Chain A
């Protein structure tokens, strides 16, 4: 009786062009990649597009995977770069300029939407893009500010400011 192929065997077969091995890799990793994309993109349609894009690019770059890290780690880095660089190039970055103002950070006396009972995932999705990205990378994914700053092309201080803003807004929405 044949045993399940190992991940290494699947990767090698996929590198030789075997689509069904790549599909097996997709099935193993799609949940993790989609969770990252969903939170970074802040919306389901965009997250699904992004997830598909990650796997299409992974297929194209598979030849560059040398097995130094686990395949899942390699795929995760690819997703991270794609999600963050796509956002960086997006004109939405401009929206962040003004609302970085500390005035916005002042605690407000009343919760904006107490009756909606937003849970954390929905509240994260509603954050402004820059604050959401840093919150997801730092508090959900566990990256450090210097890593996030490098990845997103922002200053470490900006990353800290986004995190402070994200937590403050979430605290208000989830109150």
Chain B
């Protein structure tokens, strides 16, 4: 009989119809006997249905055509060179910060207990790990990011009056969460200074803070 962990591992593939018949019937046998996994299967099916029925079309809030039309006569070189703006996550920022920090806490705990090699071996894509980049991060620690965040923070403080109380509350709450994560990571790094994975995670957290500050400053500027 399959364990709950095993069944959980195959649940998504079962829901998606991606499991071979032998494995599928093993998982189904577990589900027949286990109410908790059956409930989880049910919730996942609901989520998949809900995702598939989201609207196919969403009109942009403003008219984008003027901006497009203005660029249609640009020389080719300029069009190619223009970067798409860096992704920002505003609408889901609260969730993003919570997910980030929940992840950070667990990963930090994990990294402090174990060697980073075990983690980096699970890199999501070959491009995601570039030893040179990690080395340079180790050599040049978080000073630049810290300075950038400090400047953005000062800019935001000077424009606080332009943000609504509700927005300010979300920004402040998320900054507090991110700062707490940074503190935890810095403490973990003091215990294990050579831990590259912690350095990478700390860099990512600093970048998240900068993203948040940039978005908030942008909102303050345009509101």
Decide whether A and B are members of one complex. yes
Residues of A that sit less than 8 Å from B by CB: 19, 22-23, 26-27, 30-32, 34-35, 38-39, 41-53, 55-57, 59-60, 82, 86-88, 90, 92-104, 106, 108, 112-113, 116, 118, 120-130, 135, 138-140, 142, 145, 152-155, 158, 160-164, 167, 169-171, 173-174
Residue pair B90, A52 in contact (C-beta under 8 Å)? no
Name A43's contact: one of B47, B87, B100 (CB within 8 Å). Answer: B87
* Known pairs A43-B91, A46-B84, A56-B72; A139 contacts B48 (CB<8 A): yes
Residue of B nearest to A130 (CB): B124
Q: A31-B59, A47-B60, A104-B102 are in contact. List 9 more A-B contacts (CB 8 A).
A: A48-B61, A55-B64, A55-B68, A86-B84, A101-B106, A101-B110, A101-B122, A126-B98, A152-B125
- Bound Cα distance A35, B61 (Å): 11
List of B residues within 8 angstroms of A26 by Cβ? 65, 68
Q: A75 to chain B: closest CB distance in Å?
A: 13
- Bound Cα distance A88, B127 (Å): 9
Q: A47 to chain B: closest CB distance in Å?
A: 8
Q: B208 to chain A: closest CB distance in Å?
A: 8
Name B91's contact: one of A44, A93, A142, A158 (CB within 8 Å). Answer: A44
- Bound Cα distance A131, B64 (Å): 28
- Bound Cα distance A140, B50 (Å): 9
CB proximity to A under 8 Å, residues B128-146:
128-129, 133
List of B residues within 8 angstroms of A158 by Cβ? 124-125
Name A45's contact: one of B69, B85, B100 (CB within 8 Å). Answer: B85
Q: B93 to chain A: closest CB distance in Å?
A: 7
List of A residues within 8 angstroms of B84 by Cβ? 46, 49-50, 53, 82, 86
Counting chain A CB atoms within 10 Å of each CB, which of B74, B111, B123, B200 scores highest? B123
Residue of B nearest to A39 (CB): B54
- Bound Cα distance A87, B93 (Å): 18
Q: Is B201 engaged at the interface, CB distance under 8 Å to the other chain?
A: yes
List of A residues within 8 angstroms of B44 by Cβ? 167, 171
- Bound Cα distance A60, B82 (Å): 14
Q: B78 to chain A: closest CB distance in Å?
A: 10
- Bound Cα distance A93, B99 (Å): 16
Q: A90 to chain B: closest CB distance in Å?
A: 7
- Name 19 interchain pairs, CB-CB below 8 A, sorted by A: A23-B65, A42-B89, A42-B92, A43-B88, A44-B61, A48-B60, A51-B64, A53-B82, A55-B64, A87-B87, A97-B129, A98-B200, A99-B107, A103-B109, A104-B107, A116-B94, A118-B95, A126-B89, A167-B44
Name A113's contact: one of B48, B71, B95 (CB within 8 Å). Answer: B95
List of B residues within 8 angstroms of A102 by Cβ? 122
List of A residues within 8 angstroms of B88 by Cβ? 43, 45-46
CB proximity to A under 8 Å, residues B16-68:
16, 18, 43-44, 47-48, 50-52, 54-62, 64-65, 67-68
Residue pair A174, B107 in contact (C-beta under 8 Å)? no
List of B residues within 8 angstroms of A50 by Cβ? 84
Residue pair B85, A49 in contact (C-beta under 8 Å)? yes
* Known pairs A97-B128, A100-B123, A126-B94; A46 contacts B85 (CB<8 A): yes
Residue pair B57, A35 in contact (C-beta under 8 Å)? yes
Q: Is B179 engaged at the interface, CB distance under 8 Å to the other chain?
A: no
Residue pair A46, B86 in contact (C-beta under 8 Å)? yes
Q: Is B13 engaged at the interface, CB distance under 8 Å to the other chain?
A: yes
Q: Is B76 engaged at the interface, CB distance under 8 Å to the other chain?
A: yes
CB proximity to A under 8 Å, residues B181-213:
197, 200-201, 203-204, 207
Q: Is B103 engaged at the interface, CB distance under 8 Å to the other chain?
A: yes
Q: B203 to chain A: closest CB distance in Å?
A: 8
Residue of B nearest to A92 (CB): B87
